[in-house]
Structure 1
Amino acid sequence: MDEMRKDLLQILNWFKTVSPCFGVCGRNVRILDTPTEYFEALKANARKAEKRIVISALYLGTGALEKELIDCLHNVSRQKSSQGLKVHVLLDYTRGTRGESNSRSLLLPLLKDTETTVQVSLFHTPELRGIWKKLIPERVNETIGVQHIKSYIFDDTVIISGANLSESYFTNRQDRYVVIENSPEVADFFNNLVSAVSSFSFQLAPDDTVGLNNDLELHPYLGDQGSFKQEARKRLQEVLSKDFFRTEKHDNKESENLQINTSQSSTANSGENESGDIKVSENKSKESNSVEGDVDTWVCPLVQMGIFGITHDHDVTQGFWKKALPNSKILMASGYFNLTDHYMDVILQNSRANFSILMASEEVNGFYGARGLAGNIPAVYTHIAKGFYDRICAMNLEERIKLFEFYKPQWTYHAKGLWYYLPGSNLPSVTFVGSPNFGHRSVNRDLEAQIAVITTNSQLKEQLHQEASNLWAHGEAVDEETFQQPHRQVHWLLRFFTRYVRSYF
């Protein structure tokens, strides 16, 4: 047990050198299991909010459940705007304005009714410009790059997820959802991140026009691309640097307490309960006075915005895989399995952990059965998965790296992230959860964010283990026969084109 705690301490100390880390109480972190729970949590927390509701997603659907959610926001805003409640929604421009009925049109009544307290921001990638913006049709233009962060803030409660805000995500599209309550530092971080992205995004007006903030002289697709990217990067780095240096000071004390507790049974500042949890008394500094009780869990935000030269999430993810201990276990999930070549090389050659990777089967891929070219997308992912499986076999790594496909009748699959089990442990101590899929798009094209959660709280570890178990319960092992089935044969022309379009998936 002592050795296991020392291993976790090393992980925590490493995270604190590469990311902001916020200490929280494990009992304030809750894992949701189903889309219905996610939908109800969004509404319940919105009703309770008093000072801020900050929503960041790819898009907002236009079905009955989405309208129910907007009605909830509308009612809360009407009731509490005079008391200081502010509502801010950040979506992607291309996805949020697709079609006649869209996210933009759904949000207009809310904006018109409470204009002074509601803000709607629409991020437009600077990569979509010139002749391509004119020629590439709707839906296809989203492959160039989108705002993909999924964070939902209600006062000091944050829901981090990979799920969007549409009917399938509220009913039968499996994703992941982590609720962090009573954590103003985590809430402030994501609020600041959303505000930074919004500062160089379009702002929706009540008359259905869009414009840029007065302090932004650069246009995302009409002005100089390099200058716009440089300004965006500057604004984003201000958020990342500020929170990184703000957390270093008080987190060092928490690490010292954890270090003491790995070698002593009890101290004045820390202790261990019967279940083996490591408890660290919170350092009540001016910079960290938000957590009530003992800190036993750390939340480390990871941000990836490749188009702006911010590769934080990528660097931490591959670094974590490299640092994973021999005989440790990483469960990894991706709704769209399209690892970059570098990620593949790290897993195959540079990591010593055992991997179990859960992908979407073709039948639960969100594009399965789609009309037109989109209907070929599941086959593209099959081809990519087979290429990775072939490399595993060629290197005789079938025992260390195992692939599974998620299948659940009448459901689609969108879960992503990882769970890390220390050697000899039956429960995970670390999880990554958020919007990245570990693929080309996540690394190079889209705006992404997730959190790494490091915990010694036994109940939270049990929740995480149960979450993973629920997902892998629908996993079917992948072997050579998987790709030999007649319906899994990929046309040679599609295999040929995959090498050229892979970075758009």
Structure 2
Amino acid sequence: MDSMTKLYYLGMPTAKRQQWTTSLQKSYSANLSKDYFTNRQDRYHLFSSKTITDYYAKVHDVVCSLSFKVQPNDKVENRFELVWPPSNPAPSPLEDKSGFKSAASALISPLLKPTSTPGPRKSKTVVYPIGQFTPLMSDENHSTEHPGILSILRTLSREDFAKSSWTFTAGYFNMHRELKELLLASKSELGTVVTAAPEANGFYGSAGVSGYLPPGYLILARRFLEEVKKVRGGEGVELLEWRRGIVGQPGGWTYHAKGIWITLPEYTSPSLTVVGSSNYTRRSKKLDLEMNALVITEDKELQRELAGEVEHLKTYAKPLELEDFEKEDKKVPWETKVLLWLLSWGL
């Protein structure tokens, strides 16, 4: 269940939520499995707002109307088939890719554009939905997540933000190049990146190519620290590695938290955060559908809670330094290095 769906789900009445969960478990057992909700570090924000819930519900319903229906079929090898309902407001992308993208854009673009001019603020907290729907867009891409986040991070390069600080985390450490460059160029006193240790990656110990992914992220973590040294002289940005036991063993946890927190000058706790489904990679920008919420708050209690969220993530995280990659447990098999070279890790 991605974060867009979680927001919709959490806004439902209890009875409808139970009914919806039962229905989804039949067709999305992979995402609603026990493993997804057990021994897994993630982020959950509850928005008690009919306006916000209705908005995410509209996005959810539009995406559903542009999707194949999965239904059982014992006559085919996988025992299920994908069917394009004739009621969908777009032709099947397998039959008419251009027509599908044109219809999808017409449906999604209005949901990504502001519907009215902001009026006087009545609350200490403002929520801006930002989404990434590049695969469904035709000629003009109205996606708001990537450009919105970049716009925010550009402000950190200003001198008047020298007293600020930021925290970044993602379940899969392969941040988009533009995002990484802006974080490294920030004037902030301290930037913190929290990444998953190989032992906290859901692919740890798996068979096949996926088993090379956890050590592959180690290579990217080392490269990141090398860039910190090159761009900032090794100062002002710390990399923390999150680990709680070993995946697949008793008490082992996986790490799937992702988000950005920014503490503005003269503040001691974050007053801005981004929460949602994005992993902040090129894949998220180009190939995935993402829905997020940009939260800006002046509420002191909420700021303290955001600070507590960051500190909680640090409970099982330890600093990772360049010299640590010389240790035996950080050695990467040569096969992984070759695979990393062959694959386009920008995705």
Task: Quickly name the TM-score band, shorter chain normalised.
Answer: 0.7 to 0.9
Q: Does the CA-based 8 Å contact 2:170-2:194 persist in structure 1?
A: yes
Tell me how far apart the structure 2 counterparts of residues 455 and 425 of structure 1 sit (CA, whole Å): 12
> For the structure 1 residues 362 and 217, does the alpha-carbon distance in structure 2 shift closer, same or farther, using more than 3 Å as the test?
closer
> For the structure 1 residues 206 and 413, does the alpha-carbon distance in structure 2 shift closer, same or farther, using more than 3 Å as the test?
closer
Deviating more after overlay: 393-402 vs 199-208: 199-208
Pair 1:323-2:155 in alignment: yes
Name the counterpart of 1:232. Answer: 104
Which of 42, 53, 56 aligns to 1:187? It is 53
Aligned letter for 2:38?
A: T
Tell me how far apart the structure 2 counterparts of residues 451 and 503 of structure 1 sit (CA, whole Å): 26
Tell me how far apart the structure 1 counterparts of residues 287 and 129 of structure 2 sit (CA, whole Å): 19
How far apart are 1:424 and its partner, in Å? 3.0
Aligned letter for 2:326?
A: Q
Deviating more after overlay: 328-337 vs 390-399: 390-399
Name the counterpart of 2:19. Answer: 73
Matched position secondary structure for 2:224: helix
Which of 282, 299, 304 aligns to 1:440? It is 282
Q: What is the TM-score when the length of structure 1 is the normalising length?
A: 0.58
Tell me how far apart the structure 2 counterparts of residues 327 and 213 of structure 1 sit (CA, whole Å): 56
Q: Does the CA-based 8 Å contact 1:418-1:432 persist in structure 2?
A: yes
How far apart are 1:171 and its partner, in Å? 1.7
- Aligned pairs for 1:406-425 (under 5 A) are 406-409=242-245, 410-425=252-267
Name the counterpart of 1:314. Answer: 146
Pair 1:491-2:333 in alignment: yes
How many residue pairs match? The answer is 319
- Aligned pairs for 1:79-228 (under 5 A) are 103-104=26-27, 164-181=31-48, 183-204=49-70, 210-220=83-93, 222-228=94-100
Tell me how far apart the structure 1 counterparts of residues 224 and 309 of structure 2 sit (CA, whole Å): 26
How far apart are 1:235 and its partner, in Å? 1.2
Deviations along 1:319-347, whole A, 9 cap, x unmatched?
11111322211111111010122222222
Name the counterpart of 2:248. Answer: none
CA RMSD in angstroms comes to 2.8
- Aligned pairs for 1:345-364 (under 5 A) are 345-349=181-185, 351-353=186-188, 354-364=190-200
Q: Which has the larger radius of gyration?
A: 1
Q: Does the CA-based 8 Å contact 1:359-1:406 persist in structure 2?
A: yes
Q: Does the CA-based 8 Å contact 2:184-2:232 persist in structure 1?
A: no
How far apart are 1:105 and its partner, in Å? 8.0
Where in structure 2 are there 5+ consecutive unaligned residues?
1-5, 74-79, 246-251
- Aligned pairs for 1:17-56 (under 5 A) are 46-49=13-16
How far apart are 1:206 and its partner, in Å? 8.8
Aligned letter for 2:213?
A: I
Name the counterpart of 1:303. Answer: 131
Q: Does the CA-based 8 Å contact 2:66-2:88 persist in structure 1?
A: no
> For the structure 1 residues 313 and 224, does the alpha-carbon distance in structure 2 shift closer, same or farther, using more than 3 Å as the test?
same
Tell me how far apart the structure 1 counterparts of residues 150 and 303 of structure 2 sit (CA, whole Å): 23
How far apart are 1:414 and its partner, in Å? 0.4
- Aligned pairs for 1:347-386 (under 5 A) are 347-349=183-185, 351-353=186-188, 354-386=190-222
Matched position secondary structure for 2:232: coil
Tell me how far apart the structure 1 counterparts of residues 88 and 194 of structure 2 sit (CA, whole Å): 45
Q: Does the CA-based 8 Å contact 1:420-1:431 persist in structure 2?
A: yes
Q: Does the CA-based 8 Å contact 2:69-2:85 persist in structure 1?
A: yes
Where in structure 1 are there 5+ consecutive unaligned residues?
1-38, 54-71, 78-86, 90-101, 107-138, 140-163, 255-281, 283-294
